[in-house]
Amino acid sequence: MNLDKIMAERFSCRKYSTYVPTREELTALLEAARIAPSACNRQPWHFTVVGADDADGRSAVAASYERDWVTTAPVYIIISGNSDNAWVRPFDSHNHVDVDAAIATEHICLKATELGLATCWICNFDPAALTSRMTFPEGFHPIVILPVGRPAEGTVIPAKTRKPLSETVTWR
């Protein structure tokens, strides 16, 4: 599969089959994240894999994001970041932990698509609810919950509805 096809086929999956990704598949996703670029190569991220058999972890995710569909995912990867380890732009003190986490997350999403897996970015979760029920490495806070699995049978990749370049690009 070429990169253009992978990008076109990546979508936010909200219904998963019962297939549980293998350890090898999950390792490939994590390796894709590991090699992602980060500002000044700080790599201020950590990845917590919540497996299909981790009832407590699954319950914590469900409590932090109360949507029924999320429980259909067999695995979650929680991308957390450490703001103290991230690069900070000196001109305005902007901390890039979220940017770095986003790059790593999208590397996972693209690799998942290549492997026939699906994902969905979840940023609209309650971090306090999640951290009250799960432990993260010291100094790290959850940024993204990423369900991972195969799409449920019959799932159709939705058409991309994106603004045209003429509305999003300025050529100078």
Please give the pLDDT value at position 1. 61
* CA distances in angstroms from 82 to 42, 46, 50, 88, 138, listed in the order given: 10, 8, 19, 12, 9
Mean pLDDT across the chain: 97
pLDDT class of 23 with cuts at 50, 70, 90: very high
Amino acid, single-letter form, for residue 53: D
Q: What is the mean pLDDT of residues 129-149?
A: 97
- Surface-to-core class of residue 82, CB atoms within 10 Å of its CB (0-12 exposed, 13-18 middle, 19+ buried): buried
pLDDT tens, position by position, 40-99: 999 999 999 999 999 999 999 999 999 999 999 999 999 999 999 999 999 999 999 999
